[in-house]
Structure 1
Amino acid sequence: MNLQQPFPALVVRSAGDSAAASVENLTLADLPPGEVVIEVEYSSLNYKDALASQGHPGVVRQLPHVPGIDCAGRVVDSTSDDYQPGDAVLVTGYELGSPGWGGYSQYVRVPAEWVVAMPAGLTPRQAMIYGTAGFTAAQCVAALIHHGVEPSSGPVVVSGATGGVGTLSVAILAKLGYEVTAVSGKADRHDALRELGAAEVAGRELLSADADRPLLKSRWAGVVDTVGGVPLATLIRSTTHRGCVAACGLTAGEQLPLTVHPFILRGVNLAGIDSAKCPRGPRMEMWRHLSGDWQVDLPDQFICEVTLDQLPQQIESMLASKHFGRTLVVPKIG
């Protein structure tokens, strides 16, 4: 391969006391080491990517940095016997985009152990409609099922339902027959959530009950929480006996104002969802589900497709809590 052939990438660099992201030309010689070089067809936008674009020290180890915690495309060079040029593959998690360089680039070079062969029935575009968000949603659904939450157990609730994880959680749970309540502060998107399969849609006020009460009225057999903080505490205190709460986000805060009462009086299970370091076995199982019995087709209104130079505007929207659904990133200039 020509190591000096330039290609576009979104690069975050120091800008005084802050950081700024812009499209630059890189070469393969600039990329970190690894056994597999992938020509990226699609990546996607996740909250961690938005933080990385700001040079957030909890996400980015050092600058310059290329964000993008997932990508899908085709192998163009490999020193691994497991992957050959032309193979369709995807990568989510590990250190891609955090803290290592990521998928907002026409080419990535990664360790072979990070690579997943494209599941049968998925294209690179479909794989990134899921991306890290769909992979996380699948783990949340799996946690509920593992803890015995079935459609007959009672209603389940999804917070942050217009975000990537929330959107896909609603869709998967509805497909599996659960009675889903979707919670979102975006009133103009409530009809869209019903179209996605939500039986009920509620505003954020549902998640702000009296914080002084150790327990609230039992309501939810299962919970997928994408926001953390007070909303998560409220949902835990509202979960039924032996119910399960899958927690995967912290946009509403890192603190959990809670007593132990839900856990020792109702036996509530709190399942933490970690996508980046998910072991290989469960990782492959989630992708089998997403390409098989849990496969969902999001309506077009939930999907936005942008090029690298259009991406900063979408990042600003996400950081301002105005983002909706899934944003696909095509690693080229518009």
Structure 2
Amino acid sequence: MATNENTTEEEYLIPTSFKAFVLNQDTEGSIQAAVQTLTLDDLPEADVTVQVHYSSVNYKDALACSPNGNIVKQYPFIPGIDASGVVIHSKDDRFQPGQAVLLTGYEFGVTHFGGFSEYIRVPGDWLIPIPKGLSKQVAMTFGTAGLTAALSVERLEKHGIAPDDGKILVTGASGGVGTLAVAMLAKQGYRVTAATGKKEAEALLYALGAEEVISRDSWMPDRPRSLDRQKWAAAVDVCGGDILASTLAAIRYGGAVAASGMTNGGTLPTTVYPFILRGITLYGIDSVYAPQETRMQIWTRIARQWTEIAQTEGFVHTYSLDEVPPLTAGMLQGQSLGRAIIKF
């Protein structure tokens, strides 16, 4: 039954079977991934059943498809940490059949079957009604990455960082959080320096609003310094490790860093000097367990201020469920660029 993006219908057909991307692990530890036919009985019990229209592919999903990713603990499993779609059945009075919803975070796609499936069954507490002005497809252009980027930008704003304070560094700028942070900051009038290890990402980062694009190796010392020349008013970091340490050392007096990832490592080889000699602040950004009130406020802001980002040429790439295996494999090898959307 076809509906508009945010309309409500009284009745929806419950499927007898549907397609999902399923991971299995053999006795030798290898991961076998394939699109399979399932029934609703294969899904975990929960209050709300949703017909998925779109999902997105994130680095965390690629790790879930790897035997060494340390994401999935039990098999068989359906990955996918993001989903948007329409409610078809609900035991939760907050949600009605036909209502457009989205889901990011919690245990979705980690311990609870995720969004690489035509249907999902999830707790109502995990769902967000899609705000007016935001389509299900654009919601997945942002997804977990967009929520994380928006939380980072808002944290820097609340710290008091203004556009005329100086340049803002975004590390890991070619990834999901990085690209969206670049675009969001640029939309708010900030001068953005995008640091990336991908030469091929330059054109896209400039299109998203970066003032300059630099190689991460061009400013990274051989060994992180306790303090470096003051270069940036603030930063959004998704890398952790040496990159975050070097970023902290180069933030101007009173500045801040919003950190949300550890693609470069979970350790932080730094000292207290940036904090006690320059008075900078390191903010940890979590989008997985962010309160629902915060999520709704951020998604409403995305709908009002940032949907145009999804129209950037070359930024969004749409795939089918059958194309997920090579897509996740390429992502683990650093071959992805822009946002990958799964359309059902």
**Aligned residue among 305, 330, 333 for 2:343:** 330
Matches within 5 A, 1:175-324: 175-211=187-223, 213-298=225-310, 299-324=312-337
| 1:14 and 2:34 matched | no
Matches within 5 A, 1:85-164: 85-164=97-176
Matched letter for residue 301 of structure 1: G
> Greater shift after overlay, 100-109 or 186-195?
186-195
- The Cα RMSD (Å) is 1.5
How far 1:255 sits from its partner (Å)?
A: 1.4
- 3-state DSSP of counterpart to 1:305: strand
Give the aligned partner of residue 180 of structure 2. 168
CA–CA distance in structure 1, aligned partners of residues 76 and 31 of structure 2: 9
Q: Deviations over 1:256-299 (max 9, x none)?
A: 11111111111111111111101112111111111113443231
Give the aligned partner of residue 52 of structure 1. 64
TM-score w.r.t. length of structure 2: 0.93
- 3-state DSSP of counterpart to 1:292: helix
Give the aligned partner of residue 80 of structure 1. 92
CA–CA distance in structure 2, aligned partners of residues 146 and 55 of structure 1: 40
CA–CA distance in structure 2, aligned partners of residues 223 and 294 of structure 1: 20
CA–CA distance in structure 1, aligned partners of residues 246 and 303 of structure 2: 33
- 3-state DSSP of counterpart to 2:309: coil
Question: Structure 1 279/172 Cα, relative in aligned 2: closer, same or farther at 3 Å?
Answer: same
TM-score w.r.t. length of structure 1: 0.95
CA–CA distance in structure 2, aligned partners of residues 87 and 313 of structure 1: 33
How far 1:61 sits from its partner (Å)?
A: 2.7
CA–CA distance in structure 1, aligned partners of residues 173 and 13 of structure 2: 44
Question: Structure 1 75/240 Cα, relative in aligned 2: closer, same or farther at 3 Å?
Answer: same
- 3-state DSSP of counterpart to 1:173: helix
Whether the 8 Å CA contact 1:42–1:330 is kept in 2: the answer is yes
CA–CA distance in structure 2, aligned partners of residues 86 and 55 of structure 1: 38
Matched letter for residue 285 of structure 1: Q
How far 1:148 sits from its partner (Å)?
A: 1.0
CA–CA distance in structure 2, aligned partners of residues 233 and 212 of structure 1: 6
Whether the 8 Å CA contact 1:207–1:231 is kept in 2: the answer is no
Equivalent residues, number: 331
Whether the 8 Å CA contact 1:128–1:328 is kept in 2: the answer is yes
- 3-state DSSP of counterpart to 2:154: helix
CA–CA distance in structure 1, aligned partners of residues 206 and 282 of structure 2: 27
> Greater shift after overlay, 190-199 or 15-24?
15-24
CA–CA distance in structure 2, aligned partners of residues 88 and 7 of structure 1: 20
CA–CA distance in structure 2, aligned partners of residues 238 and 117 of structure 1: 40
Matched letter for residue 192 of structure 2: V
How far 1:213 sits from its partner (Å)?
A: 2.6
Identity among equivalent positions (%) equals 44
How far 1:168 sits from its partner (Å)?
A: 0.6
CA–CA distance in structure 2, aligned partners of residues 212 and 73 of structure 1: 45
How far 1:100 sits from its partner (Å)?
A: 1.0
- Any gaps of 5 or more consecutive residues in structure 2? 1-11
Question: Structure 1 307/254 Cα, relative in aligned 2: closer, same or farther at 3 Å?
Answer: same
> Greater shift after overlay, 224-233 or 70-79?
224-233
- Any gaps of 5 or more consecutive residues in structure 1? none
Whether the 8 Å CA contact 1:42–1:329 is kept in 2: the answer is yes
CA–CA distance in structure 2, aligned partners of residues 149 and 190 of structure 1: 25
How far 1:209 sits from its partner (Å)?
A: 1.6
Q: Deviations over 1:309-333 (max 9, x none)?
A: 10111111110111111000124xx
CA–CA distance in structure 1, aligned partners of residues 46 and 254 of structure 2: 45
CA–CA distance in structure 2, aligned partners of residues 3 and 134 of structure 1: 31
